[in-house]
A and B are shown apart, each in its own frame.
Chain A
Amino acid sequence: MLTIVCFVLSVFAQTPSVETILDNVDRNMNFETRTAQIQMTVTRGRRVKVYEMNSFARGANEAAIEFNAPARDRGTKMLKRGGELWMYMPSIEKVQKISGHMLRQGMMGSDLSYEDLMETTQFRALYDATIVGEEEQNGRACWRLELTAKSEDVAYPRRTTWVDKEHMVPVHEELYALSGMVVKSWDLSDVQTFGERHFPTRMVISDQLQTGSQTEVLFQEMSFSVALEEEVFSQRWLDR
């Protein structure tokens, strides 16, 4: 009898609450500030394009990206601030606001839409979450979480996230349309440790509705809790 009770208790002890899981994930994935060198490889059919950029991010709402490569795109900048997205195009030396239907386009033709960039992993704010089980995903033991959007205007009304039990980071995500069809899927891997933080440095995004394209994002040289100049997240930085 005691063994049963102990067993039951231990099982309960091993499954944290969904809030705990999400807290842990947030602690890993969210940050006050972060800089990173990012390499994005966009594959569409036979066309493979590799982009390299410097990214500066503050919290979930402010981000600045500057492209270094390929040569054609060098100097292109993007700024996310105050719920808006701006892009600086060096070839015409102009700043363009990305809004409306342009937001739905893939950034640089990738599977990551501008809108995806805007609606970052604000799990808590946008979604209600429940744990539905445990599964293995990409070779890692995970909890499977079902996230349901809190309001009707969230782009992906439902998501399923597999959270790595050990690292407390998402390993695989599927993003659904309202009907339940899978629209995009994310694979996150190559987890690295930064002090107390785990962070997956490789993400692969693929469009599940239209075949033939895939985007891979590699984080290189990341630093967290770095001091960033205020100026970086301003229009002036764009024009510079």
Chain B
Amino acid sequence: MKLGLIISLARRNLTRNFRRTAITSAAVVAGVAVLIVGFGLVDGLDENVIRTQEDSVSSHLLLRPTDYPTDGLNFPLDQAQQIDEDAATALASSDVEAWTARLWFTGRIISGMDSIRIKGIAYDPVGEDDVFDRSRWLVTNAQSGGQWPSQPNEIALSSGVAKLLEVNPGQNVTIETRTLPGAINAMTYTVSGIIQTGNPGVDTFGVWIPRDTANTLLVSENIVSHVAVRLKRRGLAENTKPLLSSGGWVASTSIEEVSDLLALNAFRRKAIELVVFILMAIAATGIANTVIMAAYERVREVGTLRAMGMTRWGIRALFIIEGGVMGLTAGVLGSILGAGIVEYFAATGIDLGALTDTMGELSMSSMLYMQFSWGPIWGSIVFGVLISIIASLYPAHHAANLNPADAVRAI
């Protein structure tokens, strides 16, 4: 029997019992869709973590002076340095879209009887916007609105600091710190606004000070400690890294910066894999069951085919192809459905804001974006096809081994 005949038979069978095919496939469609959404979610979590870091501190590449501490606790002024000619030249490379420099420093913020150690962030109000999108950082539900500092006596507080000290925009705070040479300096500033980047490393103890204001406070002559470099796209980071790691600077990619947080997602990924495994198993039993039942119902048909000369292999092939095609269709449909959901949430994002008031410690920003990638899609389709084929194997085998005469007689 020619393959062509088998295929056309398979097609006719599937389309003739369309309702049956549809119902059987439904489970696979759903399973595949869940698989894709699940991975979209986990990949989104990874992306979320990287983006949080990129969008608030490091952009694609982060430059720090050689030997500058990376523990996130110490910010020695005497190890910050100016951007010299070599560094400036490197930063003018064609892969670099924009860069901005910040100076981090430690100090105390004082409000009445309370004082807390803070991480000061001296930023370049002009350059920041070339690298970071600051529009979402301003917390606008505070009483008096809030803005970025515009006067020399204004600073902005991170949400964590504002909450700890119970300070609102318009109120005054005092910052005490050491100048670069080592003298004590203290200034009173008006809080112009409250900043929340979504990155707890910044939002818990950060205080935002425009560069010029900071220079006055620290006598720091334009030294910087962190240079955030935005490239044309993230993929260029690895290659551009060595270019910028020269002179007195060391570059690290955004992914390297959050490697330990990404490890966190391995845990979530396993959890999702577990769930999806269970789901697909359930879907598989549905398929198997249907195919088996269908196989038994088609005994007479099988008998007829055999009597007409179709080989056992032909029968097997028939069932397997039917199963395969059903799985493929279901897989594709499920992929489309799943991909559609992922794409939607990749663009819109799930707003966890309402739930994450105090989620600060878990390093997740309040918007959860899913991440679309082709891997899970191909994988799911293949998986759907395989499951359907496997489920069809037994009935195919059974049907193939029927004695034609018995088969025809059976009803």
Q: A and B: direct contact (Cβ < 8 Å)?
A: yes
Tell me the A residues contacting B by CB distance below 8 Å: 45, 149, 151-157, 177-179, 181, 183, 209-212
Contact across chains for B186 and A153 when beta carbons are under 8 A apart: no
B216: chain A residues within 8 A (beta carbon): 179
Q: Cβ of B113 and Cβ of A179 under 8 Å apart?
A: no
Alpha-carbon distance A210/B165, docked complex (angstroms): 13
> By CB atoms of chain A within 10 A, which of B112, B179, B188, B216 has the most?
B179
Contact A177/B182 with A209-B174, A211-B112 known, Cβ cut-off 8 Å: no
Chain A contacts of B185 at CB under 8 A? 157, 177-179
- Chain A residues whose CB sits within 8 angstroms of the CB of B188 once the complex forms: 181
Bound together, the chains give a CA A153 to CA B185 distance in angstroms of 11
Residues of A within 8 A of B182 (CB): 152-155
Contact B174 A153 (CB under 8 A): no
**Smallest CB-CB separation from B111: which chain A residue?**
A210
The distance in angstroms between the C-alpha atoms of A124 and B176, with both chains bound, is 27
Which residues of A lie under 8 Å from residue B115 when comparing CB positions?
209-210
B184 interfacial by beta-carbon distance below 8 Å: yes
Complex Cα–Cα for A101 and B176 (A): 14
Q: Is B126 an interface residue (CB 8 A)?
A: no
Contacting B179 at CB < 8 Å: which of A178, A209, A210?
Answer: A178
How far apart are the CA atoms of A62 and B55 in the complex, in Å?
Answer: 52
The reply to whether A178 and B112 form a contact with Cβ atoms under 8 Å apart is no
A192 to B110, CA, bound (A): 37
Q: How far is the CB of A155 from chain B (nearest CB, A)?
A: 5
Q: B183 to A155, Cβ gap below 8 A?
A: yes
| Inter-chain contact A152/B112, CB cutoff 8 Å | no
- The reply to whether B186 and A212 contact each other, CB–CB distance below 8 Å, is no
Bound-complex Cα distance A150 to B176 (A): 21
Interchain CB contact under 8 A, B113 and A183: no
Decide: B113 and A181 in contact? CB cutoff 8 A: no
**Do the beta carbons of A212 and B113 come within 8 Å of each other?**
yes
Which residues from B are CB-within-8-Å of A153? 181-183
**Chain B residue, CB-CB nearest to A184:** B184
A177-B184 contact in complex given A45-B113, A210-B110, A212-B113, C-beta closer than 8 Å: yes
In chain A, what residue has the closest Cβ to B117? A101
- Give every chain A residue within 8 A of B183 (Cβ-Cβ): 149, 152-157, 177-178
Q: Which of B76-120 contact A (CB under 8 A)?
A: 110, 112-115
Are A181 and B186 in contact (CB-based, < 8 A)?
Answer: yes
Measured CB to CB, the closest approach of chain A to B69, in angstroms, equals 12
**Bound CA span A155–B176, Å:** 12
Query: Which residue of chain B has its CB nearest to the CB of A158?
Result: B183
Chain B contributes a number of interface residues (CB within 8 A of A) equal to 19
Decide yes or no whether B219 CB sits under 8 A from chain A: yes
A45 to B110 CA separation, bound complex (whole angstroms): 16
* Inter-chain contacts of A155 with B (CB < 8 A): 182-184
Question: How far, in Å, is B335 (CB) from chain A's closest CB?
Answer: 57
How would residues 113 to 154 of chain B score, 1 for a CB under 8 Å from any chain A CB and 0 otherwise? Answer: 111000000000000000000000000000000000000000
B266 at the interface (CB under 8 A from A): no
Given contacts A45-B113, A209-B176, contact A179 B186 (CB under 8 A): yes
- In the assembled complex, which residues on chain A have CB atoms less than 8 Å from the CB atom of B294? none
Q: Please measure, in the bound complex, the distance between the C-alpha atom of A156 and the C-alpha atom of B183, giving whole angstroms.
A: 6
Q: Which residues of B contact A179 (CB under 8 A)?
A: 185-187, 216-217
**A-B residue pairs, 4 tightest by C-beta:** A152-B181, A153-B182, A177-B186, A178-B185
The complex places the Cα of A157 from the Cα of B113 at a distance, in Å, of: 24
Report the Cα distance A153→B113, complex, angstroms: 28
Q: Which residue of A lies closest to B218 (CB)?
A: A178
Contact A210 B181 (CB under 8 A): no
Taken together as a complex, chains A and B put the C-alpha atoms of A152 and B113 apart, in Å, by 29
> Using Cβ atoms and an 8 Å threshold, which residues of chain A touch B114?
210
Residues of B within 8 A of A177 (CB): 176, 183-187
User: Which of B110, B176, B179, B187 contacts A152, CB < 8 Å?
Assistant: B179
Chain A proximity of B73: nearest CB distance (Å): 10
- Residues of B contacting A149 in the complex (Cβ-Cβ under 8 angstroms): 183
> Do B184 and A156 touch (CB < 8 A)?
yes
CB distance from A156 to the nearest CB of B (A): 6
Q: Complex formed: what's the CA distance from A154 to B178 in Å?
A: 10
Contacting A at CB under 8 A, from B182-198, are: 182-188
In whole angstroms, how far apart are the Cα atoms of A1 and B179 in the complex? Answer: 54
Complex formed: what's the CA distance from A113 to B287 in Å? 77
Q: Write out, one digit per residue, whether chain B residues 151-184 have a CB within 8 A of any chain A CB (1) or not (0).
A: 0000000000000000000000010100101111
13 A-B pairs besides A153-B182, A210-B114 with CB distance below 8 A are: A152-B181, A152-B219, A153-B181, A153-B183, A157-B184, A157-B185, A179-B216, A179-B217, A181-B174, A181-B188, A209-B115, A209-B176, A212-B113
Alpha-carbon gap, A178 to B188, bound state (A): 12
B122 shortest CB reach to chain A, Å: 16
Which residue of chain B is the closest to A45 with respect to CB atoms?
B113
C-alpha gap A45/B179 in the complex (Å): 30
In the complex the two chains form, what is the Cα distance from A199 to B219 in whole Å? 37
A186 vs chain B, min Cβ distance (A): 15
21 pairs, CB–CB < 8 Å, chain A vs chain B: A45-B113, A149-B183, A152-B219, A153-B183, A154-B183, A156-B183, A177-B176, A177-B186, A178-B183, A178-B185, A179-B185, A179-B186, A179-B187, A209-B176, A209-B186, A210-B110, A210-B112, A210-B114, A210-B115, A212-B112, A212-B113
Q: Complex: how many Å from CA A183 to CA B179?
A: 14
Chain A residues with CB under 8 Å of B187's CB are: 177, 179, 181
Q: Complex: how many Å from CA A151 to CA B179?
A: 12
**CB of B48 to closest CB in A, whole Å:** 34
Residue of B nearest to A175 (CB): B184
User: Is there contact, CB below 8 Å, between B113 and A210?
Assistant: yes
In the bound complex, what is the Cα–Cα distance between A212 and B113 (angstroms)?
A: 6
Most buried by A among B184, B185, B186, B188: B184
